[in-house]
Structure 1
Amino acid sequence: MSEPNNLTTVGAVIDVLGGNTVVQRATGVNTSQTVSQWRIRNLMPARLYNFMISGVQKRNCSAPKSLWGVVEGEWGDADDVAH
């Protein structure tokens, strides 16, 4: 199996999943305009991370959690920054 294609933008994730209309229908959001707004903001709802990343991985791709606003790391890392 080849290396995963690393997607670095929300637009790339949406495109690999089939475009605005396909993503809108699959995620259950009201309109494809909502998906367009994700592209503009370069941020998708964190609640959709697990669902969408499974589709991304099925297409032999990967994407950082930050595209969904999901913070990576552990709580202790934040304590180190605060002091």
Structure 2
Amino acid sequence: MFDAVIGLRQQTVHPTDRPNLSLSDFVAPKDSEAQDHIGAFAVTAGIGLDKLVAEFDAAHDDDYNSIMAKAIADRFA
């Protein structure tokens, strides 16, 4: 069980009668009888990128694909 779930609040400006919400606002309180769950995932990009870029640069002399591989990995991150 977690002691706290910390998350960012909405960053848009709301009227004073409407709060900026966070996902943690929807987690059941610790002292409640409700069974609550949290799901998460992680994504990585760029593993093996240096080797791929080196192959494009050396074997294929392919600047376009080298640049595109770097750009796509950067956008995924």
Taking CA–CA contacts closer than 8 Å with sequence separation of 6 or more, which of the two structures ends up with the larger relative contact order? Answer: 1
Give the TM-score normalised by the residue count of structure 1.
0.25
Higher helix share: 1
Give the TM-score normalised by the residue count of structure 2.
0.26
Tell which structure's C-alpha radius of gyration is larger.
2
Higher strand share: 1
